[in-house]
Amino acid sequence: MSEMAPDSFETTLRRALAPVEPPAELAQRLEDTLQELTLMAADELEAWELGAMRDPRNWMRPVVAAGVGATAGTALVLLRVRAVHRRRRSRDPLDVAGRALGGMTGQVRRLRRR
């Protein structure tokens, strides 16, 4: 094994652990994917018939659709609220909490209208 000088090892380690900026379009792609998942889950639930509830074998698809829709919708709301708060930074935790709650309710209203 070759011996590395301490400076060389630290430099190599710093370079290896340097933060990497994600691509600029990553946030938009993630938001588009979450929006698509939410809409697909809503379509699946909309197409499901209540008459099929008698047979427990038919319950899996709507349960999965509800779970995926709720998870993707929540992630979408949180992603949008986070983007808004990044633009307006605040140090006061109560101010941040109030804005987050207001932003989440606004995002939920927007999603419900679609």
In tens, the pLDDT along 59-108 reads 888 889 999 999 998 888 888 777 776 666 656 666 666 766 776 677 67
Residue 65: CB partners within 8 Å, gap ≥ 6? 40, 41, 44, 45, 48
pLDDT higher than 80, residue 47: yes
Q: What is the pTM assigned to this prediction?
A: 0.58
Q: Which has more confidence, 111 or 46?
A: 46
Contact between residue 85 and residue 100 where contact means Cβ atoms under 8 Å apart = yes
